[in-house]
Every structure is written in C-alpha cells, then in structure tokens.
Amino acid sequence: MGEYAMREMVLVGHRTLLGEIIRMEEDEATIQVYEDTQGLQIGEPVTGSHESLSVSLGPGLVGGFFDGIGRPLGTLMERQGVYIAPGLNVPQVDPTTEWDLVPVAKVGDMATPGSLLATVQETPLLLHRILTPPGVEGEIVEMAPQGALRSDGIVARVKDPFGHETPIPLVQRWPVRLPRPYRERLLPNEPLVTGQRVIDGLFPIAKGGAAAIPGGFGTGKTVTQHQLAKWSEAQVVVYIGCGERGNEMTDVLEEFPVLEDPRSGRPLMERTILIANTSNMPVAAREASIYTGITLAEYFRDMGYDVALMADSTSRWAEALREISGRLEEIPAEEGFPAYLPTRLAEFYERAGRVVTQGGETGSITIIGAVSPPGGDFTEPVTRHTKRFIRCFWGLDKNLANARHFPAISWLDSYSEYAQEVEDWFSSHVDPRWGSLRDRAREILAEDERIQQIIRLVGEDVLPDDQRLLAFTAFLVKNGYLQQSAFGPDSYSPPEKGFAILDLILHFHEKAAGLVKKGVPLSLLKDGEPVDAITHLRELKAEDKGAFEDLRKRLDAHLDRVGAERTPTREPRPGDAGGDASWR
Ligand code: ADP
C-alpha cells in the first residue's frame, strides 16, 4: 500500500467505480465505494488518483444538479437515460463550455491567496469571481485575454519568488473534507432574512449562523427547507437533498426553475445549486454529499457572497455514518451511531460562519440542517448532539402540524441565540420598535400557554376579561401572524409586512386592554369586522401600506365607539376583576 494514502480517491474495477480508502493496515486497504459494487470480481484492478475526494470549483456549478460525489445528473441523464450505470465518471463541469472571461488583474501584478484575477458572468444573478487559490502567491506572468475561455483553460500563471510557475485554471479542485481557509471570523450580527414571519420575527437566524429544524414525519421539515431555499436573502443557495425521498427532489427540480427571486425577478435556479442523494442512491455517497455541498458553499463564500446551505436531512447523513461504521466493525456508541458522531456534526456546523475571506471580502455561510428524529423524540443522539453546535433551534410541533398550523415551528420549544445580535439591524432597517414588539409578542404567547392550561381545567367562562383578552390576542398572533402558507401569495413575507401585522395586533391589544380595565365587555370589543380583518392581513401585500393604515383607522373607530357606548359610569374600584357584568 506504499503508494496510496488514507482518504485517497481510487477507481475500482473495470467499470472504474469511484471509491475512497478509509482504512489501511500494512498491505491491506478498506475502500468505501460510492456506487453499487454488485458484480465486482476478485482480481479486478484498483487505480489510485493521488488526490482525496475532491470537487471541481468554477463557472458552471450554479443552476446545476449534482449527485453526492458531485457528478452532474443532468449530463448523466443525457448520456444514459433515467437509470445511471455505475462507474460513469463524467466531469463535474463540462470542459468544453466557453465562458466570457473579463480579466481584472494584469501581468506584473502580485497575486496573493484570494486576490481577484478575473470575472465571469455565470448567470444574470451571479458574477463568478475567479480568485487566486489558497497557497498560491507571486507575480502574475501571464494572463488570459478578455473573451471566450473554455472551462479547462488557464486564467493566469503566477511565478513565486523562487521562480516556480503555477498555472491557475478556470476550474480548480478542492478536497471536500478540508475546510477552505479564511482570514478571520466576524460576529454574526446581520440577519439572514428568510421571508418567513415566525423565523424573522421570533427566532431569527444570522448570516453565518447555524440552525436546526427537527421534527417528526410530516411536520414540515422539507417544506420549510424549500421555503428557506426559495426566499432567503442569500446570493447563492446550496440545497442538499440527503437521503430523503426522490419525489421531494423532483418537487424542487420542477418548482425552482419556474419560481422567481423576489428581489430580482429572475428565476431562482440562477443562484441555486442542488445536490441530490436520495434514499435509493448508494449510502456512502450520502455521507460525502454533505461535504461536497459545504465545499461548494465555501467556494462562493470566498468570493464575498452570502451563501445559505440547506441539508435535508442530517439524520439520514448520520445513518449513513452508522452504516459505514458498522461495516468497518467499529465499536458502536449510543443507538449504534459511531462514537465520532458528535465530532462529525461539529466539523460540519463549524464550517458555517461570517468571515473575512483571504481576499479581504466579507462572506458568509449559513447552515440550516433538518433533523428527523425517529418518533419525533428530540432526545435521540442526532438531535441532542446537533443542539450543541447550533444556536438557532426551530422545533417542529406535531400538534401544530396536525392542527394544520403551518409552519409548525413551536413558539415554546424554539429559540434563537442570534436574536439579540441581529436586533440592531432590524431596528435600523425595519423599525426601531422591532425588539420591543418581539418581546411583547413572546410574552403574550408564553402567558397564553399558562392561560390555556387553566382553560383546559376549568373552561374559559370563569376567566376575567383581561386574561381572556390576552388569550384572544395570542389567537390573533398565531392565526394572523405566525401562520404562513407556503403555497400562495403569502409564501414570501418581507420583514416590513410581518412587522406591520404584529404592530396592528399589539395596537389592538393595548387599546382593548385599556378599555377592558374600564369595564367594557370583551365580547363587544372583539366582535366586529375590523377585528376579523386582522386574521386576513397576511393575504395582503407588504407594499399595500394604505390597507394597513386603513384597517388601523377602522379598528380605532370600532374600539372608540364600543368604548364610548359601554364604559360604565362609575370609576372602577380596586378589586374589580374587570369584565362582562352579565356573568357576575
Ligand atoms: P416532513 O419533511 O417533515 O416529513 P413535509 O415538509 O413533507 O414534512 O410537510 C408535510 C406537509 O405539511 C406538506 O405536504 C404540506 O401539506 C404541509 N406543510 C408543511 N409546511 C407548510 C407550510 N408552511 N404551508 C402549508 N403547508 C405546509
């Protein structure tokens, strides 16, 4: 085994199946083959590639659809039809494609890792920046001219102080298990706006943050991931369909090309990369798919972009680890998962972050991992260990999903440790009262939980009106604000719209609370067309500012009228419960 290395990529058998050396002992090696090994015979040759599992990085990735080891599924299908035979090693990006190169650096300039050499307008949404790769430094002695350059072309040649020349190809290779270097980490204090009210409003995620969406079957993990992939304010989205059903990937493939980016009006695929390793594809490639995805994300981060990476689902990835570990006869730890499960999860989530790149740009990778705990049990190892490495937790609640409250993100179990850090951004970009409204909404939801318990015990009728009002406001928050259908005009809700809805609900609450205190019966306050209209606000468009203002006026008029008619003449005395006199 002298000429081989651990984790080296090898081609196995006459069909050249792609594999990786995962164990070496004296002159024996264990090779993890990423494809179906059926039919492989003793005596077939194995050829080393002298590199570890790597991906090609360059123009042609965006809008693409790849398998777990980075092979373009579109090209494979053109050549092979729907069923892909093993061993077909097609290049990740077609070497013959020509790109319109615009040089930025010139001969004589110094190139340092991350410095900008040239650009290619890869899609109308994405300017691809060709950078000096990590580890390369020196004087540029040759530069490709402006104009067409093939994918397998050379952009520049760099000569180091020792006279050694390094060609810099348009498409570069990078080993997927090695994080790409950056200069420095930054605080995650800018939110990744997702267009989902419950996320942006209550449990925001920062650019460069890491979040987990755990939930049992059918609670909406996939739909939520799709929503985030569609609407997140990222310049590049990497979506990894890892071990999930094939038809879910089909949905993505059918939907994304026809969807428009809400900010630019261009097709979403122009900023999206899809990686699919569905449940019927080889399990080993599933393990690799996560690394392939994050390496692509890092490549675009290095260009100074905000990248969002969705992995659906990390549980299936952990199961792939377990399966491979089992075959290696490693000693299993909790529930059969290998003892290094937490380390692998940490390594993955650690690759998220907002950084200063080697070239001095600011870029970020936000990781959003779905977790599918068996039986919806959040104490199982994958969920539990994931919680240690993420700072944003969107727990999906089976009861909410059953009640068709979507997104079924529980307002009691979920949390975001980024909320404080991104508050300033929302205060200056949306409204200075952002933070206080969020706190108030959460207070009301928490208090409502307590009231609901009492209601379950003794019924609603015995509650004083101020508590019933609180329960009613919580109902408005849940139905008018937190609920958001993924299908329809409300699918994307800019922060301004969410804020306007919440502001109106809380405005109603404060005003009604004042009247209830004066003894005005709640039943009259909450009974009226403007109050009913609150739950329909989410169907409005954010631009429709007039409609929000109009409703506020109607609401005020309604409350003022009821208040004037029904305010009791005597002043309330201490000890008055406040409420509808009819039941007392
Ligand atoms: P999981 O991946 O957790 O098994 P899915 O994401 O497939 O669950 O969601 C199950 C169903 O829940 C979907 O088919 C859809 O009908 C419904 N659903 C989930 N989220 C939403 C949403 N935001 N809006 C409307 N319906 C939703």
Q: Does residue 217 have its Cβ closer than 6 Å to ligand 1?
A: yes
Same domain, 527 and 507: yes
CATH number at residue 45: 2.40.30.20
Same domain, 140 and 211: no
Residue 144 lies in a domain: yes
Same domain, 211 and 162: no
The pLDDT assigned to 579 comes to 46
The pLDDT assigned to 83 comes to 66
The pLDDT assigned to 51 comes to 87
Average per-residue pLDDT for the chain: 89
CATH number at residue 236: 3.40.50.300
Res 582 pLDDT > 50: no
Residue 83 lies in a domain: no
Residue 73 lies in a domain: no
The model's pTM: 0.90
Q: Domain range holding 10? A: 1-52
The pLDDT assigned to 312 comes to 86
Residue with the nearest Cα to atom 19 of ligand 1? 220
Work out the average pLDDT over 216-230: 89
Q: Does residue 402 have its Cβ closer than 6 Å to ligand 1?
A: no
Least confident of 85-99, 218-232, 437-451, 541-555: 85-99
Residue 244 lies in a domain: yes
C-alpha separations of 23 from 31, 147, 178 in Å: 7, 46, 18
Same domain, 159 and 216: no
Distance 417 CA to ligand 1 centre (A): 26
Nearest atom of ligand 1 to the alpha carbon of 372 = 3
Residue 426 lies in a domain: no
Same domain, 330 and 238: yes
Res 257 pLDDT > 80: no
CATH number at residue 136: 2.40.50.100
C-alpha separations of 575 from 27, 471, 518 in Å: 87, 21, 13
Nearest to 511 by CA among 520, 498, 499: 520
Res 244 pLDDT > 80: no
C-alpha separations of 199 from 119, 252, 495 in Å: 35, 22, 10
Domain count, the chain: 4
Distance 220 CA to ligand 1 centre (A): 4
Res 319 pLDDT > 70: yes
More confident residue, 90 or 526: 526
**Nearest-angstrom CA–CA distance, 554 and 248:** 44
Least confident of 16-20, 75-79, 367-371: 75-79
Same domain, 213 and 127: no
Res 19 pLDDT > 80: yes
**Nearest-angstrom CA–CA distance, 116 and 130:** 6
Q: Of 172, 195, 221, which residue is a domain's last?
A: 172
Instruction: Name the one residue in this structure whose structure tokens are 């008018």.
Output: 480
Same domain, 390 and 335: yes
Q: What are the structure tokens assigned to 414, written together? A: 């979920």
Query: Which residues pair with residue 191 across a beta bridge?
Result: 206
Same domain, 270 and 378: yes
Res 387 pLDDT > 90: yes
Q: Does residue 39 have its Cβ closer than 6 Å to ligand 1?
A: no
What 3-state class would DSSP assign to 301?
A: helix
Q: Does residue 64 have its Cβ closer than 6 Å to ligand 1?
A: no
The pLDDT assigned to 46 comes to 93
Same domain, 43 and 150: no
Same domain, 494 and 526: yes
**Nearest-angstrom CA–CA distance, 276 and 323:** 19
The pLDDT assigned to 580 comes to 47
The amino acid at 431: D
Residue 509 lies in a domain: yes
Same domain, 499 and 543: yes
In sequence order, what E strands does 28-164 have?
A: 28-33, 46-52, 54-57, 65-67, 98-103, 110-111, 116-123, 126-131, 138-143, 147-150, 154-159
Same domain, 399 and 273: yes
Nearest to 499 by CA among 190, 202, 194: 202
Confidence of residue 584 (pLDDT cuts 50, 70, 90): very low
The pLDDT assigned to 92 comes to 77
Taking only the tens place, the pLDDT of each residue in 133-159 is 999 999 999 999 999 999 999 999 999
Res 246 pLDDT > 70: yes
Residue 425 lies in a domain: no
Residue 571 lies in a domain: no
